[in-house]
Amino acid sequence: MKKHYLTLFTAVCAAAVLTGCGQKEASEASDKASEDKAAKTEMVASDKPVKLSSDNPFGQTWDTYQGIPPFSKVKDEHFMPAFQKGLAEMAEEIDAIANNPDPATFTNTIAALERSGKSLTKVASVFFNITNTDTNPTLNALEVEISPLLSKARDSVVLNDAVWQRVNTLYESRDTLDLATDQMRVLELYHRDFTRAGAALEANAKARMSEINAQLSTLTTQYGQNLLAETKGFELIVTDEADLDGLSSAMIAAAKAKAEAKGQKDAYIFGLDRSVYEGFMTSSTNRELKEQLFQGYINRGMKGGDADNRDIALKIAQLRAEAASLRGYQSHAHYQLETRMAKTPEQAEEFLLKVWRPGLAKAKVELADMQALVGDAYTVRASDWWHLSEKVRQDRFNFDDSQLKPYFELNKVRAGAFLMANKLWGIKFRELTDVPQWNPVVTSYEVTDADGSLLGIFMMDMYARDSKRGGAWMSGFRSASKIDGNVRPIITNNMNLPTPGEGEPTLMAFGEVETLFHEFGHGLHGLLTQERYERTSGVSGPRDYTEFPAQILEHWASAPQMLAEYATHYETGEAIPLALVEKLKQASTHNQGFKTTEFIAASLLDLRWHMLTQDEANKITDAEAFEAKVLAEYGLLDEIQPRYRSGYFSHIFAGGYSAGYYAYLWSEILDADGFDAFLETGDIFDPELAKRLRENVYEAGSREEADELYRKFRGKDPSIEPLLRVRGLDDGS
């Protein structure tokens, strides 16, 4: 999952510095509304000039290498004054655009909007990245306070009637303005952003839109904080070593280290971070402990108490439905998908069902295989699936993850991803050992092109900790642009790998390897961008397209040519045996019925939450009952839970994927079809094809509509057949 760049103004939307996998309503940031230019005084608590203390780094020029934020100098108390100053400056800049006596031009309106809010961006990018990676109670409280302020700031721009009139005037006369191609595209996108935000609404509707946005800002923030508390608050404590049967030595060492860090000797603590959860559920032989961990995982945010998210999710859905109605749309999903590749929620649902049907059929076969494996010993339940599926794989293909892990050590996997980028495009990564970092585990790199020119700074934070939200994502501290010189980006990748015991290597399951390559793809999308304006820079395209540049790189992770380069034994240096590579390939479609079904179940749940009309949403009183009804209608097996339930579906209730979680699978059409192009050449590093991929995808941002960019790379529209083949669903079983 990625963190997304904002899609309207860098400053006001820096709260949405997205992504994956995504927590600050990034995809909706460009659609937020406000009352009008009079709202500018509401951006800050006081009309008095805001002065920063001399030690506040946000009032200083950062003399760090390439302007990396000086993290060690940033204190919690520095953020609010810096936000207030940034908001005040932003208000002045927008007021200057609105009240400019000169006729509207691209320079004094669109380019001025692009340049606005730099100091706000400076603080917001640091703040929201830190609250995602190293939060604390003070920052949590501050986030709740700041989010509504930023909502008002967004509103004061996109619902400012004077600014809207200038944008609209330019748009209506665009064919007479003699604009460059990229300027025309940016003008069209700004006009679309303002229109979809509600700039043309009547005053009363704008006022209500502002109220809704403020409520959503608070609710989505609370949802995310509740989920973090629920995830980090759960502990499965094991004191009997016999209960560790089946677990790897690395997992046991990490659990022991976690217990010792919490002052518990002779104990082992397992939490709900995805890597730990999947590893335990797959490897442990203790059914009852797996059931405990399983119940802890699937009931997050749905157990009652202060961190319960059910009512919050329902209220978010109701407010989004109302906002869509105000804008003239049938539902939030219709509003969201209008500008995406799927176009309508009905088309997204139809696509999902094409894959759901064979996926569900295959899942039923997989369930029968597992039941046959255990016979009459017990009836397979949902918490058994991970472990028994792995047993079937071992039996059928004679290998398991324990054979693979020694060949996937973090440093070597990272080097493999870097080598892939070098082989495709000549990109080089030089580690920086003396630059600021927000946590000691962060590694930083200078990224240069084949000609030696700087592409950007890349920073990686790979390990889980209690102060960090779950999942994996891409984000950034600075976006790329060329409006005032060639500003290169500062991009981050985040994962949540378990911290190994002292002296132990970080060995990765192959699914984690694919995740690293995936997030690296988002990172390259941010690093390679060559657009002049931030509005079309980096990962600014539609959500069901921006997963494509990430997902296509997962194919290289498992390609035999790449495995031979980076998959070497962490102790002996021996390359992964060809026989093991072949087994990996043969087993690639194993358990795809389960994987397909759990994913699509979540995607359908997302769509159904957001296809509700305002009246329909307001009639729902029980979020969990609504969820159960939806999943039953599609025929989800009792033994499979959706990948995300309503209480912990942060992608859609605290992130930028509302009505868009299907995007991963939609993009899989593109990535499977796109990688087929390389296979057709017989060279997965084919220079000409790699050049087209870079120029039309990684460098292009959203300079054109997504389907056109794909066609320029591929030479044709994508086909669904490669996706079905990759998932082993092409035989209809």
So which residues are the catalytic ones?
A: 519
Separation of first and last alpha carbons in the chain: 29
Phi first, then psi, for residue 338 (nearest 5°) are: -55, -35
CB 675 within 8 A of CB 693: no
C-alpha to C-alpha distances, 371 to 289, 368, 376, 381, nearest whole angstrom: 20, 5, 8, 10
C-alpha to C-alpha distances, 244 to 253, 272, 377, nearest whole angstrom: 11, 17, 22
Whole-number Å distance between alpha carbons of 177 and 169: 11
Q: Region of 375 please: left (phi>0), alpha (psi -120 to 50) or beta.
A: left
The residues with which 461 forms a beta bridge, in sequence order, are 494
| Residue 447: strand, helix, or coil | strand
Burial zone of 558 (CB within 10 Å; 0-12 exposed, 13-18 middle, 19+ buried):
middle
Whole-number Å distance between alpha carbons of 514 and 589: 15
CB 197 within 8 A of CB 30: yes
Closest CA to 626 of 302, 359, 218: 302
C-alpha to C-alpha distances, 166 to 33, 187, 199, nearest whole angstrom: 17, 11, 12
Q: What residues contact 719, with CB distance under 8 A and at least 6 apart?
A: 669, 673
Whole-number Å distance between alpha carbons of 87 and 71: 22
Give CA 323 to chain center in angstroms. Answer: 24
The residues with which 431 forms a beta bridge, in sequence order, are 445
Q: What residues contact 656, with CB distance under 8 A and at least 6 apart?
A: 4, 16, 18, 19, 22, 23, 24, 25, 26, 27, 28, 29, 543
The residues with which 483 forms a beta bridge, in sequence order, are 485
The angle, 0 to 180 degrees and rounded to 10, between the axes of the packed helices 137-158 and 118-133 is 140
